[in-house]
Amino acid sequence: MARDPLVLSQVKALLDQISQIAPGHAVELRVPPYAAIQCCEGPKHTRGTPPNVVEMGADEFIALIDGSLEWSDGINDGRITASGERSDLSQLFQLAAQTIRIAE
């Protein structure tokens, strides 16, 4: 899958802001094929498949931050996958929607 340079730039900037809101290494937040970060406080993961993984496409990631997608809707219809006991990032994205402004 090709990466759109504009989407890449936007996703990376937004992930950087997410990592500032929720620093840590307990959850791996993936937005393939663009980028992934580790965020949220908790035990640091160092080897193998992380125990807490959240994955979604760029459209869903941006929609969560601009408030046009609710976490529960994305989970329920399969646009967002989340595994692990710390993978419910609904509150993080609610906070992000209130604090992050997406550049046009």
**How distant, in Å, are the alpha carbons of 20, 33, 35 from that of 2?**
28, 8, 13
CA distance 87 to 32: 17
Which CATH number goes with the domain that contains 20? 3.30.1050.40
Question: Looking at the domain assignment, is residue 103 inside a domain?
Answer: no
- What SS3 class is residue 88? coil
Residue 61 predicted with pLDDT over 70: yes
Q: Report the chain's mean pLDDT, rounded to a whole number.
A: 91
Total number of domains constituting the chain: 1
Domain that holds residue 53: 5-98
Query: Which residues have a Cβ under 8 Å from the Cβ of 72 and sit 6 or more positions away?
Result: 90
> pLDDT digit string (tens) for 80-96?
999 999 999 999 999 99
H-helix segments, the chain: 5-21, 58-66, 71-76, 90-99
